[in-house]
A = this chain, B = another copy of it.
Amino acid sequence: MSSKLTSIAHDKLESLLNSRDSARIADVSSMLNDMPPADVAHLIESSTPKLRHILWQLVDTEIEGEVIGELSEELQSLFLAEMDAAEVAVMTEGMADDDIADILQQLPGAVTQEVLASMDQQDRARIERVLTYSEDTAGGLMTTDAITIRARVTMDVVLRYLRRHSEIPSMTDSLIVVNSQDQYIGLLPLRTLLVSDPSASVREMMITDIDPIPANMPDTEVARLFERNDWVSAPVVDENRKLLGRITIDDVVDVIREDADHSFMSMAGLDEEQDTFAPILRTTPRRALWLGINLLTAFVAASVINLFQETIEKVVALAVLMPIVASMGGIAGTQTLTVLVRGIAVGQISRSNQGWLINRELAVGMINGFLWAAVVGVAASLWFNDWTLSLVIAIALIINLITAALTGATLPLFLNRIGIDPALAGGVILTTVTDVVGFLSFLGLATLFYAR
């Protein structure tokens, strides 16, 4: 059933929904509401702006909350903007508190307060606790929905206690052991509970070698811990080891995906929250800004060329070959930059090994510089039958590839240290450097050599 709707072509779906044939629209609506919420969200995200509004209106109120929880932030805020506080309050009923917090964070402050006011006191206190932490920290990722037990009880008591619970929260692979002050002591995996002697105590069987996650840990670091330790869920504590909640792998997967998207999109000056099917008016401004920044750097490069008008007039072949020097520098530098940005993102680069890395890149840059200088030098002399030109471009290429390696390796480290995202700013600065050095070395050397 669920695959039926996704297999309908979007254009057919759009014309069907536009047809105002109420029987067929009801048909689509019932198919839609039979799909898993994540699939509905994916369908909406893959739809054009007009269609997604129609689809959203067809979603039943009961699953609205689950669907919106699966949408990207950009689309969440789009749909939330059309809802009033009462509607948001109805929608969030029964949702997990971390998902509610995510939604509230997108609303204007006044609306958030209204929604909170409409909740019962216990729910409200839980949500407010999550809301005190920034979205990109462990506290912002956590859910307060966790089962806690005491260390002194036996497995048998725990089993009976669970049976009295009507439901164990999803992604529960461990029960959390706390003391009377609600401080974290250890974890009792369900796997252990199920195979242990019923008379054994929690204290005997619990694992204590897993450190709880401090609430202010950045989400990227949380993701690294989950990846390295293969966790399904992990407890979150405050500075006094008091248990605040737990983080589950599904939310960590979202962090991993977002971090990866961030690096990928930033390299092209795009926002990782960029909605693939955003309308023209929402896409254009950011793109225009990025083009504007790059235009400034292009003018810088042009003004370097401008210094050498006389030389170019004398030897026009220089104008033919100069983009080669600049572009080779840009490509080589981008490769080094990419390796560094990824190394920084996965936490492999530290002060102690960065020196080695810079040296390695420098060596690679020199080898490639000499290799391609030789090739380009020969090609240029065959093409223009001018050995001076050949020598000039070879030297300029070596200079620019070494510059590219040095800049590509040191720039992201520097930007990272001063708190600027190297994935976003690195490429623009790098290509400005390689363009300027490329044109300056090539045309500068030519001016010297042809002046003789």
> Residues on A close to B: CB < 8 A?
9-13, 36, 38-39, 42, 45-48, 70, 159, 162-163, 165-168, 170-173, 190-191, 193-196, 226-230, 232, 249-250, 252-253, 256-257, 260-261, 263-265, 267-270, 274, 276-277, 279-280, 283-284, 287-288, 290-292, 294-295, 298-299, 301-303, 305-306, 309, 312-313, 316-324, 326-328, 331-332, 334-335, 337-339, 342-343, 347-353, 355-357, 360, 363-364, 367-368, 371-372, 375-376, 379, 431, 435
CA distance A253 to B252 in the complex (A): 9
Number of copies: 2
| Cβ of A125 to closest chain B Cβ, rounded Å | 26
> CB-CB < 8 A to A324: which residues of B?
295, 298-299, 301-302
Q: Determine if B250 and A10 form an interchain contact, defined as CB atoms under 8 angstroms apart.
A: no
> CB-CB < 8 A to A368: which residues of B?
284, 287-288, 291
CA distance A191 to B317 in the complex (A): 75
> CB-CB < 8 A to A299: which residues of B?
324, 379
Contact of A191 among B168, B260, B268, B352 (CB under 8 A): B168
CA distance A48 to B364 in the complex (A): 15
Contact of A283 among B228, B260, B360, B435 (CB under 8 A): B360
CA distance A328 to B293 in the complex (A): 10
> CB-CB < 8 A to A268: which residues of B?
334-335, 337-338
> CB-CB < 8 A to A226: which residues of B?
253
Q: Determine if B364 and A276 form an interchain contact, defined as CB atoms under 8 angstroms apart.
A: no
> CB-CB < 8 A to A350: which residues of B?
9-10, 46
| Cβ of A314 to closest chain B Cβ, rounded Å | 9
Closest to A267 in B: B267
CA distance A194 to B263 in the complex (A): 42
Contact of A319 among B284, B305, B351 (CB under 8 A): B305
Q: Determine if B166 and A191 form an interchain contact, defined as CB atoms under 8 angstroms apart.
A: no
> CB-CB < 8 A to A11: which residues of B?
352-353, 355
CA distance A406 to B321 in the complex (A): 27
Contact of A435 among B42, B252, B267, B323 (CB under 8 A): B323
> CB-CB < 8 A to A313: which residues of B?
313, 316
> CB-CB < 8 A to A263: which residues of B?
264
> CB-CB < 8 A to A172: which residues of B?
191
| Cβ of A383 to closest chain B Cβ, rounded Å | 8
CA distance A331 to B286 in the complex (A): 13
> CB-CB < 8 A to A431: which residues of B?
327
> CB-CB < 8 A to A302: which residues of B?
320-321, 323-324
Given contacts A194-B163, A348-B45, A376-B295, contact A253 B265 (CB under 8 A): no
Closest 5 CB pairs of A and B: A260-B260, A9-B352, A38-B228, A10-B352, A268-B338
| Cβ of A323 to closest chain B Cβ, rounded Å | 6
Contact of A284 among B12, B326, B367 (CB under 8 A): B367
| Cβ of A133 to closest chain B Cβ, rounded Å | 22
| Cβ of A143 to closest chain B Cβ, rounded Å | 12
Q: Determine if A342 and B265 form an interchain contact, defined as CB atoms under 8 angstroms apart.
A: yes
Given contacts A342-B276, A348-B276, contact A48 B229 (CB under 8 A): no
CA distance A165 to B280 in the complex (A): 60
19 contacts between A and B (CB under 8 A): A11-B352, A36-B229, A42-B347, A45-B348, A46-B349, A166-B195, A167-B191, A173-B232, A193-B194, A227-B253, A265-B338, A274-B339, A276-B342, A280-B364, A283-B364, A301-B323, A306-B320, A309-B316, A313-B313
Closest to A193 in B: B194
Q: Determine if A277 and B372 form an interchain contact, defined as CB atoms under 8 angstroms apart.
A: no
> CB-CB < 8 A to A195: which residues of B?
162-163, 165-168
Q: Determine if B12 and A352 form an interchain contact, defined as CB atoms under 8 angstroms apart.
A: yes
Q: Determine if B229 and A232 form an interchain contact, defined as CB atoms under 8 angstroms apart.
A: no
Q: Determine if A291 and B260 form an interchain contact, defined as CB atoms under 8 angstroms apart.
A: no
> CB-CB < 8 A to A348: which residues of B?
42, 45-46, 276-277
| Cβ of A99 to closest chain B Cβ, rounded Å | 12
